[in-house]
Chain A
Amino acid sequence: MKKFKKVLNIFLDLLIFILSPIFFISKMISSESVYKFLNSKKYIIYIITIFLSLTLFLLLYFLY
């Protein structure tokens, strides 16, 4: 079990090292202040949804 944990730890550390830039960006986005801002007003989520879905729709429309 100890060996398995060691191997798992090494594997996870390696994965974290490779993915550290994405980890860093995600940690920044999911910080306390961002979470509070997103939850502060109800209409914020609708504005972001419209903006994101429009971007995604246009991106897909022009790419495919």
Chain B
Amino acid sequence: MKIDILNSFFQIYSNYFFKNLNPFQLILVFITIFIIVFSTLKLMLINKKTLFIITFLIFNILFGVILSNFVFKESELFKNIVQFVFFMLIPIGCVLLITPDLREKLTDLLNHNKTNINIRKGDIQTRKEIVDAVFELSSKQIGAIITIEKYQPLDKFTDKAIILHSKVTKELLLNIFIPGTKLHDGAVIIRGDEIICAAAYFNLTQKDFLDKSIGSRHRAAIGISEESDALTIICSEETGTISITINGNMNKIETKAQLERYLNTFI
């Protein structure tokens, strides 16, 4: 069966479209095309992802039309295969365009096996600085969330955060989480001996059976531990208790030695 979308569309209208139109109607057609092009361009400029998807779709349609009408003009089978592959991607692209969640899931799925081989591990001094900072924050009842990266890079969160690239020190960690400052609300991401960024925002966990008293900071920590292999240390603002999350589980930390043990086995 011959499926030639563009040709069949214009065949219906070709008798009175374009060739037999009066100037007024031609202007109307031009205005319609102008509006379509303008809204498409506006949609493209929302962010870089939409720019990529729409450019991809436009080139996809162009390639599909060129291949089916000029390259595989003779072969009916190839023409149909090309049309199926290229035009099948249009609805998929449209769905991806309007659903950011699905887009993120697909990117995660594609990047799932990509692990950072050149991972730098934090040394003893870094671990000591983290432990000291967390316990001082706890004693002062300052809310904090510190995520330590393992093999899976957390670049999708660092892109939207405030990049620091500074050495891990107790003083800097304390300063970041002081209430009222611009960076205190989000998470700090640590890679090796470096604080990569501050004010990173994670997706909250979707678990239903969690205690209702658990705040958004703890939910975000569980969320990131479900998504990646990172370890997250959370300090509660209300009670000052310290917890860690790893692989979707949350454990309470009582002593410095306990937290050190966790960090030693993790880093």
Chain A partners chain B: yes
> Which residues of A come within 8 Å of B, CB atoms?
5, 8-9, 12, 18-19, 21-23, 25-27, 29-30, 32, 34-35, 38-39, 45-46, 48-50, 52-54, 56-57, 60-61, 63-64
B34 contacts which of A9, A50, A64 (Cβ < 8 Å)? A50
Taking the closest CB of chain B, its distance from the CB of A53, in whole angstroms, is: 4
> Which residues of B come within 8 Å of A, CB atoms?
10, 13-14, 17-19, 29-30, 33-34, 36-38, 41-42, 44-45, 48, 51-52, 55-56, 59-60, 63, 85, 89, 109-110, 112-113
Q: A19 vs B61: C-alpha distance in the bound complex, in angstroms?
A: 12
Chain B residues positioned under 8 Å from A64 (CB to CB): 10, 13-14, 17-19
A49 touches B59 (CB 8 A): no
Shortest Cβ distance from A31 into B: residue: B48
Chain A residues positioned under 8 Å from B44 (CB to CB): 38
Chain B residues positioned under 8 Å from A18 (CB to CB): 85
Chain A residues positioned under 8 Å from B37 (CB to CB): 49, 52-53, 56
Q: Is the interface of A mostly helix, strand, loop or mixed?
A: helix
Q: Is the interface of B mostly helix, strand, loop or mixed?
A: helix
If A53-B33, A57-B33 touch, whether A29 touches B55 (CB-CB below 8 Å) is yes
Other A-B pairs beyond A53-B33, A53-B38, 14, CB < 8 Å: A9-B109, A12-B109, A22-B60, A29-B52, A30-B55, A34-B51, A39-B45, A45-B38, A49-B37, A49-B38, A54-B30, A60-B10, A60-B18, A64-B18
If A45-B41, A49-B37, A64-B10 touch, whether A5 touches B18 (CB-CB below 8 Å) is no
A57 contacts which of B19, B29, B89 (Cβ < 8 Å)? B29
A30 contacts which of B36, B38, B51, B60 (Cβ < 8 Å)? B51
